[in-house]
Amino acid sequence: MSSAKATRASFGEALVELGNEFKNLVVLDADLSKSTKSEGFAKKYPDRFFQMGISEMNMIGVAAGLSFTGKVPFLCSFGCFLTGRFDTIRVSVGYSQANVRLVGTHAGIGIGEDGYSQMALEDIACLRTLPGMAVLQPADDVETKQMMRYLMTHQGPVYLRLTRQNLDAVSPKNYKFQFGKGVELKSGTDSVIFATGGLVGNSLKAAEALAKEGLSVGVVNIHSIKPLDEDLVLNWAKRVKHVFTAEDHNVVGGLGGAVAEAIATRGLATRLTRIGVQDTYGESGSPEALYEKHGLDTFGVARTVKSVLKN
């Protein structure tokens, strides 16, 4: 099993590996290649790497243009900076259905001391509203690399959301990534946590801790926020009385919103609790302290689930 690793690091490694196999893979970065981990690709394939400077709007337009020539461009920046260019993404990539991979690193409060100005907490909410835009968030090294390989053949725009902090390995043995399909990591009869990205590992540990207190809580890794695996979500919602979502993102419009929409549209009476940043701005602090403050660490997730199920 892989050791803990940031998904941005796994992304950088995958770029280098895939670059040799897929000659149509190109990478664009906005003066953040060291942080986004695209620098490895730049060193090995300099003729297919484009350093665009601090000009994300131009980078988005160039990436769209490259996609129309048959290239598969991976456009890299911090997730919050891409969200800030939403109007350009909407027209140049979304409306045009350009085959572009928007790669947003440094997602959520997990980035730590850099503070709110660089925390992507609204990116999922924004980008999942665009028709035809897939929104993906891997949970560990194995999933990131398999997802990257899949993205070389996927058709249509994609937003790939990656972490700065290291994530423990959670993927099952012989794991196989499937676009739009959630991954059941733990069974449960009392409730279920639908988790994504940096919260998958903490949710799994929380469920294991709760099992020692007599609570049977399932855990599902939702790596594809759009398209959401609605069949899996609804199957769980029909079996349990309460479901939880867990994400390092504003609870408004993120995974919690997507799950709520799926449940409400089918008219189910299942209760939902959204674990995430509770509609506030982020702040500077260590990733561990911020996760603890916002209840996103293992203890916080377990505490929320227990308090709801015991009442």
**Can you tell me which residue has the tokens 């991954």?**
183
- pLDDT classification of 259: cutoffs 50, 70, 90: very high
Catalytic residues: 56
Q: What is the mean pLDDT of the chain?
A: 97
- pLDDT classification of 57: cutoffs 50, 70, 90: very high
62-75: pLDDT as tens digits = 999 999 999 999 99
Quote the pLDDT of residue 310: 86
Calculate mean pLDDT across residues 277-305.
97
Quote the pLDDT of residue 95: 97
User: Has residue 171 got a pLDDT over 80?
Assistant: yes
Quote the pLDDT of residue 139: 98
% pLDDT > 90, the chain: 98
Would you tell me how many other CB atoms lie within 10 Å of the CB of residue 129? 14
Quote the pLDDT of residue 3: 74
Calculate mean pLDDT across residues 231-255.
97
Q: Give pTM, 2 decimals.
A: 0.96
Nearest-CA neighbor of 45 among 70, 65, 71, 68?
Answer: 71
Angle between helix 199-211 and 298-309 (nearest 10): 50
Cα–Cα dist 246/202, whole Å:
9
What are phi and psi for residue 259, nearest 5 degrees?
Answer: -65, -40
% pLDDT > 70, the chain: 99
Tokens of 226: 């759009």
Calculate mean pLDDT across residues 53-66.
97
172-213: pLDDT as tens digits = 999 999 999 999 999 999 999 999 999 999 999 999 999 999
Cα–Cα dist 50/31, whole Å:
10
Calculate mean pLDDT across residues 255-284.
96
User: Has residue 231 got a pLDDT over 80?
Assistant: yes
User: Has residue 2 got a pLDDT over 90?
Assistant: no
Tokens of 15: 């770029």
Specify burial of residue 152 (Cβ count, 10 A radius: 0-12, 13-18, 19+): middle
Calculate mean pLDDT across residues 135-150.
98
Q: Which element (helix H / strand E) includes 51?
A: strand 49-51
Quote the pLDDT of residue 1: 42
Question: Which domains, from first to last, does the chain contain?
Answer: 5-167 (3.40.50.970), 183-309 (3.40.50.920)
Quote the pLDDT of residue 311: 78
Calculate mean pLDDT across residues 29-58.
96
Decide: 245 and 155 in contact? Cβ < 8 Å. no
Quote the pLDDT of residue 32: 95
